[in-house]
């Protein structure tokens, strides 16, 4: 099975997500998403960046956060997800050593 990755130019990404190019520059500067550069040093964004952007826009809409706040929130949410995954794995490993009565 092959994996297909969709890429967007800056203009396509802005049209797809509804953010302006100025907002996009701020968002990239804050590290919310990272562009890939093509051979002409033009930014390209993949479908993962589009999904992150949709999540960021939802945070902006529902919590009225500014872009720096969204960057912090997304970082904390990612860290929380990683810690939950690590906790789940450790609990599974530990359950092998604990007998239930």
Residue 62 half-sphere exposure toward CB, CA atoms < 13 A: 8
Say if CB 27 and CB 56 are below 8 A apart: yes
Instruction: Answer whether residue 100 is part of any domain.
Output: no
Question: What's the Cα-to-Cα distance from 67 to each of 39, 54, 71, 86, rounded to whole Å?
Answer: 29, 13, 6, 29
14 neighbors 8 (Cβ within 8 angstroms): no
Q: What is the pLDDT of residues 30-88, one digit of tens each?
A: 999 999 987 777 999 999 999 999 999 999 999 999 999 999 999 999 999 999 999 99
- At 14, the pLDDT band (50, 70, 90 cuts) reads very high
Domain count, the chain: 1
Specify the CATH number for the domain of residue 90. 1.10.1660.10
Residue 14 lies in a domain: yes
Domain that residue 88 falls in? 7-95
Residue predicted with more confidence, 1 or 68: 68
């Amino acid at each position: 099975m092959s994996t297909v990755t969709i890429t967007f130019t800056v203009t396509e990404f802005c049209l797809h997500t509804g953010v302006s190019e100025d907002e996009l520059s701020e968002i990239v500067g804050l590290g919310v998403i990272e562009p890939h550069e093509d051979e002409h040093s033009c930014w390209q964004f993949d479908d993962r960046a589009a999904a992150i952007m949709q999540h960021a826009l939802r945070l902006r809409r529902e919590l009225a956060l500014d872009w720096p706040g969204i960057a912090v929130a997304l970082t904390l949410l990612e860290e929380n997800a990683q810690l939950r995954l690590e906790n789940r794995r450790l609990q599974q490993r530990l359950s092998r050593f604990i007998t239930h009565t």
